[in-house]
Amino acid sequence: MLLSLWVKTGLKLYPLNRYVIERDGNGDVIEIVTKERINKDLIPNYEDIKPKMSYDSPVDGDPDEEECDVYTHVRRDNNRFVWYQEVHSKRIPGSQGKSPIDSTPWLPLRFNTVDGEAYGRGRVGQFIGDLKSLEALSQAIVEGSAAAAKVVFTVSPSSTTKPQTLAAAGNGAIVQGRPDDIGVVQVGKTADFATALQHMQTLREAIERSVPNPVSSAVRTYNRRRGTHDTDGTRTTAWRTVRVVNCRVPRTLSQ
Task: Please write the tens of the pLDDT for every residue from 43-58.
Answer: 887 777 777 665 554 5
The average confidence (pLDDT) of the chain is: 79
Give ∠ CA 186-190-192 in degrees, rounded to 5.
Answer: 120
pLDDT computed for residue 247 by the predictor: 47
Q: Domain residue spans in the chain? A: 2-122, 124-210, 213-255
Burial pattern 153-172, b for ≥16 Cβ within 10 A else e, equals: eebeeeeebeeeebeeeeee
pTM listed for this prediction = 0.57
Percent of the chain with pLDDT over 90: 18
pLDDT tens, 114-160? 888 888 887 777 788 888 999 999 998 888 888 888 888 888 888 88
Residue 196 CA to residue 12 CA, distance in Å, equals: 44
Q: Kindly give the residue spans of alpha helices, DSSP state H, lying in the chain.
A: 46-49, 128-149, 163-168, 190-210, 214-226, 238-248
pLDDT tens, 202-247? 988 888 877 656 555 555 665 665 554 444 545 545 444 444 444 4
pLDDT computed for residue 216 by the predictor: 57
**CA distances to 135, 213, 229, 238 from 219, in Å:** 30, 10, 13, 11
